[in-house]
Chain A
Amino acid sequence: MAQLTCSNLTLGYEGHVVLSGLNFSVSAGDYLCIVGENGSGKSTLVKTMLGLMKPLGGRVTLGDGLRENEIGYLPQQTAVQKDFPATVREVVLSGCQGRAGMRPFYNRQEKALARESMEKMDITALAGRCYRELSGGQQQRVLLARALCATRRLLLLDEPVSGLDPMVTQEMYALIRQLNREGITVIMISHDIAAAARFASHILHVGNTVFFGTREEYLRSDIAARFLVPEGGDRP
């Protein structure tokens, strides 16, 4: 049974349609990459899947017992966070907010969960460091640890490698793949189509033409032929 299904979705701002007729679903253990050019409506789609925005038409349904606040979200960094005084521990722990609900303080279990997530992301040594003083790759690991506090089932990553250098980018992809192998469903927004074609199990291509299918189907499609430089081509 699908964890998240989008049926006949129409997206846009204030009546201006960006994307329409979108149909796809994600099942437990899938690794879905959503690719498309800038301005093709990827961010709008993310916000709609998270329930932060209402679709203009169609609907997003959660299934398989997944609750709305059980999606671990890795947003793009905001300007506010660039000089925010907070330790890594404080940021990771804030991922437990959804679990704590109306309880004002975090309990022992939630603190243990935060520790565990930090270990998983290999940032335990950074726990007392200030978030704004970390490198871009370390900051992404912190935000990923925070997302892991919010979920054990579905991660939604919005451009997780943007602004990272090539080596850190590969580390980040490996980390995400590792999480996926451990059974966490991954939905990743990316404009790196080559990487998507390497790691994903399913691909959703949005833009003028919409494609949804498995990685193999995508690689055989016309749309991939246009966007992917063939093997042995002039890509470095």
Chain B
Amino acid sequence: MIESLGLYFSFPLVRYALIVGVLIALCSSLLGVTLVLRRFSFIGDGLSHVAFGAMAIAGVLHLTDDMLFVLPFTVLAAILLLRTGQNTKIKGDAAVAMISVGALAVGYLLLNLFSASANLSGDVCSTLFGSMSILTLTRTEVWLCAALSVVVLVIFILFYNRIFAVTFDEDFARAAGTRAEAYNLLIAVVIAVIIVLAMNLVGSLLISALIIFPAMSAMRVFRSFRGVTVCSAVLSVVCAVLGILISVIVGTPVGSTIVAIDIAAFLVCCAVSGIKGGIRK
């Protein structure tokens, strides 16, 4: 098995996939903690569907580099979603549901009406579930992905204390002079970037899993914000690496394999916290 792995790793495509996979898993898990704690998990879900719609539009317009279109489009949607959350004319969760389902439907409709592709359902399936698209990354895409991931990581570390303050108690943070709106905006933009990046890895339907599962698992076991953040990052990276390796060897779709392992990790963490709780009693 190690030999066959060695053989696979002689292909640059597999190496790229692993690098990109690790970076995406790291970034998504970091922001996941904040999103889960603020009850914003559904925004990740909604944005991933918006990204699918944007991808469809890019396909119809025959854009050569769809990332350049999908990224700003999703960032814009993230900002709009956050705004509707504050302005209560349309309730936050309903707005997210409308936008996400709408984007999905319109995206598929556009693809059906205008696509010149011979294998439409194959295209849609790989956009939704990621299938093997991570193994077809070009060198430029890997570099773009790596650069964006580093930016996300640096932003997260520099703003760690402020993200904590705003997440734990927004009113207190605002009273102390922290510009909470600006940080909410920053978080929304970063989430949008991560989702667009992660579309390559797990496809638009499974991105939320990458954001939510590591955070939920870490919250079972750890009791400090720092502990939860670090554990969630480590867990996410380990699961992503395992998932990619298994999918390469066994030939399963990358995205769903990673998510399946994330689920397994969550169950293990639940068991660990159960045992810990039992001992304490």
Which A residues have a C-beta under 8 Å from some C-beta of B? 47, 50-52, 68-69, 71, 73, 75, 78, 80-81, 84-87, 90-91, 94-95, 97-98, 100-101, 104-106, 128-130, 133, 146-147, 150, 156
Q: Which of B137-145, B223-231, B240-248 contacts A (4 or more CB under 8 A)?
A: B223-231
Of A78, A80, A86, A156, the residue contacting B164 (CB under 8 A) is: A86
Q: Could you list some 9 contacts between A and B, CB below 8 A? A: A51-B175, A69-B177, A86-B225, A87-B223, A97-B161, A97-B177, A97-B178, A100-B161, A104-B159
Question: Contact mask B183-197 → A, CB, 8 Å, 1/0?
Answer: 000000000000000
Please tell me if the beta carbons of B176 and A52 are within 8 angstroms of each other in the complex.
no
Please tell me if the beta carbons of A68 and B165 are within 8 angstroms of each other in the complex.
no
Taking CB as reference atom, which chain A residue is nearest B176? A98
Please tell me if the beta carbons of B172 and A90 are within 8 angstroms of each other in the complex.
no
Query: Which secondary structure characterizes the binding site on chain A?
Result: mixed
What's the nearest-Cβ distance from chain B to residue A57, in Å? 22
Leading 5 A-B pairs by shortest Cβ distance: A69-B177, A98-B176, A130-B223, A73-B175, A87-B224
Question: Contact mask B146-162 → A, CB, 8 Å, 1/0?
Answer: 00000000000111111
Q: Besides the contacts A50-B171, A85-B222, what 6 more A-B pairs have beta carbons closer than 8 Å?
A: A73-B171, A81-B168, A85-B224, A105-B161, A129-B223, A150-B172
Contacts of B38 in A (CB 8 A): 80
Contacts of A95 in B (CB 8 A): 172, 176
Cα A232 to Cα B227 with chains together (Å): 55
Contacts of A78 in B (CB 8 A): 169, 171
Considering only residues 169-228 of chain B, those with a C-beta below 8 Å from chain A are 169, 171-178, 219, 222-228
Contacts of B169 in A (CB 8 A): 75, 78, 81, 94
Cα A51 to Cα B223 with chains together (Å): 33
Please tell me if the beta carbons of A75 and B219 are within 8 angstroms of each other in the complex.
no
Taking CB as reference atom, which chain A residue is nearest B220? A85
In the assembled complex, B94 has its CB within 8 A of some CB on chain A = no
Contacts of A106 in B (CB 8 A): 161
